[in-house]
Amino acid sequence: MSGLGRDASQRRRRVAMAGHAQGAARPAARHTARQALDDPDPAIRSTALGALDRLGDLDLADLLAARADPAPSVRARAAELAHRQGAAAVALLVGGLADPAAEVVEASCFALGEVGPTAAPGALDALAAVAAEHRDPLCREAAVAAIGAIGADQPPSGRAAVLAAMSDKPAVRRRAVLALAAFDGPDVQAALEVALADRDWQVRQAAEDLTGRGREG
């Protein structure tokens, strides 16, 4: 490892350790972590966000600043941590759904699902668009999972997106089956019947688990 690489590794280790400080050491640890938010290395900036979160000193302003970071890894880390801010972070996370980096979109979907039902008013249409249109299947899968986590008390776009995802790739179809647990109605039952005969065994298994019966019922 070069001298520059060792220096970055040492800085990152120091910031990571700061996140675990206890007692009287915590004020200095917060200072160390905050300074690292401006480090030239994006890995260290990401580590600083996690350290501040563990110290209970990460706030919405920090996350908004990180949302504008040039490094996708930092923007994704901010999204992962944003759900701890609850409904206050929904607008930030919805913005993340339009990020050009798939890893940021996926992390934003995950975080909106963690926020849960309180994310519904501002998030469902955007999540439905990701589920239907995003080029990356991992993002579509994460969006469907988030819709299911937010639940049935939501605009029709969420329900429609989950049902449409039943025609996607196997991993997305499996996630869609699990998300259907949040909904009921004849269209949901019909979709589950189709899933019981899906060509992918994991999709069939998810449908069997949800309905309590196999294909032959």
Can you give the pLDDT at residue 179? 94
Check whether 161 has a pLDDT greater than 60.
yes
d(CA 116, CA 50): 22
Report CA dihedral (39, 44, 45, 51) to the nearest 10 degrees.
-120
Kindly list the domain boundaries of the chain, sorted by start residue.
86-211
Q: What is the pLDDT of residues 192-201, one digit of tens each?
A: 999 999 999 9
Rounded-to-integer distance, Cα 63 and Cα 81, Å: 8
Contacts of 200 (CB under 8 A, 6+ apart): 170, 173, 174
* pLDDT tens figures, 74-100: 999 999 999 999 989 999 999 999 999
CA dihedral 75, 84, 123, 42 (to 10 degrees): 0
pLDDT digits (tens, 9 = 90+) for 63-73: 999 999 999 99
Separation of alpha carbons 107 and 101, rounded Å: 10
Distance CA 65, CA 203 (A): 40
Count CB neighbours of 119 within 10 A: 27
> pLDDT at position 155, please?
67
Residues 6+ apart with CB under 8 A from 2: none
State the CATH architecture for 86-211.
Answer: Alpha Horseshoe (1.25)
Average pLDDT score, the chain: 92
Per-residue confidence (pLDDT) for residue 213, from 0 to 100: 74
Q: pLDDT by residue (tens digit) across 125-149?
A: 999 999 999 999 999 999 999 999 9
pLDDT confidence band for 217 (50 / 70 / 90):
very low
